[in-house]
Amino acid sequence: MENRLNKFFNSEEGMSLVEVMIASAIGVAVFFFVQQSLVRVQKTQAKIERRAELFTIKESMRTWLTDIRAWENNPESEVPKASNLSAFYYYPNPRAKLTQLTMSQAEHSLVETKLKVEGKDRFSCPQEFPNCRIILFNYKGQMLNPETDVIPGSHFKAIIGFVTPDDEITRAFIPEFKIMFIDTTDDDETSLRSRLSYINATGYYRPGGKNQAIVGPKGEIVDSISRKNCFLKFQASYSDIGALAFDLCRTATSNAPFECYKTMVDEYKEKSSVAMIACTGAVNGLPQKCFKEAKRKFQGGSVNSAILCSAAKNMQPIECLEWINEKLGRDSEDPNRYKICSRSQDTTPGECYADLMKKNSTYAAFAQYLCPHHK
């Protein structure tokens, strides 16, 4: 028998023992490769599904904000029930302040016990998210109740901060949600990368992304109480400016336009017309801060500095103008530079302006329309 087998394997009709072993090894390798490929496909599919559920969660949060806003515009209506998850806010009575909520200590303890996490409390609010609320979701996009639901070992954790001009939630202002979504799975191949998102009643966006536009249904939601309060503050302190107070407050979401105007006129001793330029559209204290720095650094005068810092939400206009001066040389009197960098979010407008000027200096008149970030 052994001789017949050896004869077969060593004959031209058969395979040698070495060839059989090689073929077997190849077969095993192909089997494992196919298995690994299937696993990778399954994990990729799981990742895609999680990304879709995260989209659903964001859309749900946008709806919650819309529901809350609708109630705010009609304070006589019934207090929101669990159907629109008013647990994000607490209403002691229909006319009371909206109270900020964080996950209660009892909820912390329940989650920690269920997940058997030892050591540092992983559900405390991070420093960059003061007064946050932490909410858990399963991979089907369903919000988990720490008191009644089984908390799976892997899930979405949403660390939610509240973005308001004065870091306080009141009936006068419904904030954006500043959210860090964290996928708690240990599997790197299926885990979604943690990303910061902002969600408001009209949609959501990710800072630093290529597309800064808000995604989602378009809609105008105004803050009538803040506009009224802003206008009345002007009437109480600067009644002589008349209708100009209306221009400053008609898009207000806080008292920022009033505070900006007050700083410009009373502290910086600037003319009312200069303050109007800088403070129109103000949402925080950056316009007056930017103005002071621009006037000191560029010495282009009050009007140019006000144009540069009009409605500024950060100090990027300063950096934009610095970039132009570095590339083209300082020209404090050129108004186009100040207009182009106004409300800029990076140096892109400056780069656009520099390219046009290098091609032909007569293009400066077109640059102020082609290059700015804002319309």
Q: What is the pTM of this model?
A: 0.46
Give the tokens for residue 35. Answer: 């298995």
Q: How far is CA 251 from CA 116, 224, 225, 265, 311, in A?
A: 49, 9, 11, 21, 11
Is 370's pLDDT higher than 70? yes
List pLDDT tens digits, range 54-108. 787 777 777 666 555 544 444 444 444 433 333 344 333 444 444 434 445 565 5
Residue-level pLDDT at 57: 79
Say if CB 312 and CB 338 are below 8 A apart: no
β-sheet bridge partners, residue 137 = 143, 156
Residues sharing a CB contact under 8 Å with residue 245, sequence separation 6 or more, in sequence order: 230, 231, 234, 235, 238
The residue ranking higher by pLDDT, 112 or 239, is: 239
Q: What per-residue confidence (pLDDT) applies to 64?
A: 63
Contact 255, 204 (CB under 8 A): no
The pairing of beta strand 99-100 with beta strand 176-183? unpaired
Please say whether the beta carbons of 317 and 309 come within 8 A. Answer: yes
Residues of the chain with pLDDT > 90, as a percent, come to: 13
Per-residue tokens: 143: 């919000």
If you average pLDDT over each of 76-85, 144-153, 177-186, which comes out highest? 177-186
pLDDT band at residue 111 under the 50/70/90 scheme? low
Which residue has better confidence, 141 or 208?
Answer: 141
Cβ-in-10-Å burial (0-12, 13-18, 19+) of 345 comes to middle
Q: How far apart are CA 292 and CA 83, in angstroms?
A: 48
- Report d(CA 95, CA 224) in Å as an integer: 15
Three-state SS at 121 = coil
Classify the C-alpha dihedral 54-59-60-64 as positive or negative. positive
Quote the percentage of the chain above a pLDDT of 70.
59
pLDDT of residue 88: 43
pLDDT in tens, 276-317: 999 988 988 999 999 999 999 998 889 999 999 988 888 999
